[in-house]
Amino acid sequence: MSATPNVCLRITDLAVAYGHIEAVKGISMELQDGAITALVGANGAGKSTTLLALSGLLKPTRGKVEFEGEDISGLAPNEIVQRGVVQVPEGRAILTTLSVLENLQLGAYTRRDKAGIAQSLDEVYHLLPRLKDRAGQFAGNLSGGEQQMLAIGRALMAKPKLLLLDEPSMGLAPILVQEIFRTLVTINKGGLSVLLVEQNVRQALKIARHGFVIETGKIVLADTGAHLLADPQVEAAYLGG
């Protein structure tokens, strides 16, 4: 009998509202440790709202978020980062008037281990060599794909245990999308758990061990990435079938 996989993040009956409008309506999910999990759905389905709640940037109206067995629902965003849950936000949110290196250094703002930070920087440069080539350039002068790589690199500087990614392929040419997803697979092979929020359903489910489909704030399907890719309902709704 195979061992039961460890759960790194457990979401129970999570609801999030903007005023009187409930955007996330009591969802429950479990993320396996060391896996890529995809949360997919149409624009406005509640994907980004879910991530903002996990990061502490939005307060849930009910429900619980547990990371490595600890309830993190009421923690401040910086405390959640210190626990190891780090988000790459939609739109990248890089600081364009700072250099690439300065943006990366900001990613380590919660850390005090200078030797460890230097090692993390070397690891980011090894994973994303273009960032090393452009270390002294203003981040605003990077291409869209390079800015997305910088946003991922900045998140890795926080030494995450769980990486939350919000629409990393948005606005990128197909060849750059492939590069971003290859990078995520490489990161995951190093043992990092990943929760990937994407409108690009096909690409997300291709690399995900498990997937959840969200519609109007509710989880409507949950299965392995491969099974969801082959699901006629998913194909009809999201894959042009």
In this prediction, residues 93-104 reach a mean pLDDT of 93
Residues 11-37 pLDDT 10s: 999 999 999 999 999 999 999 999 999
**Mode of pairing for the β-strands spanning 21-32 and 7-18:** antiparallel
1, part of any domain: no
Phi, psi (deg, nearest 5) at residue 131:
-65, -35
Do you know the residue count of the chain?
A: 241
- Residue found under tokens 């990943």: 194
Q: What is the pLDDT of residue 199?
A: 84
Q: Is the dihedral of CA 111, 114, 115, 121 positive or negative?
A: positive
Residue 118's identity, in one-letter code, is A
CA separation for the pair 184, 192 (Å, rounded) = 9
CA 180 to chain centre: 12
Give the three-class secondary structure for 128: coil
Separation of alpha carbons 65 and 10, rounded Å: 6
Residue 70 lies in a domain: yes
pLDDT in tens, 123-151: 999 999 999 999 999 999 999 889 999 99
Domain that holds residue 36: 7-238
* pLDDT beyond 90 at 121: yes
Give the number of other CB atoms < 10 A from CB of residue 230. Answer: 12
The domain total for the chain is 1
CA-CA-CA-CA dihedral for 9, 209, 84, 52, to nearest 10: -70
Residue 100 forms part of a structural domain: yes
CA distance 211 to 239: 15
- The verdict on residue 176 lying in a domain is yes
Identify the pLDDT of residue 93.
86
Contacts of 125 (CB under 8 A, 6+ apart): 131, 132, 135
Q: What is the pTM of this model?
A: 0.92
Does residue 122 surpass a pLDDT of 90? yes
- DSSP 8-state class, residue 131: H
Rounded to the nearest 10°, the torsion over CA 16, 18, 22, 27 is -20
The domain that contains 130 carries what CATH number? 3.40.50.300
Residue 196 confidence class, pLDDT cut points 50, 70, 90? very high
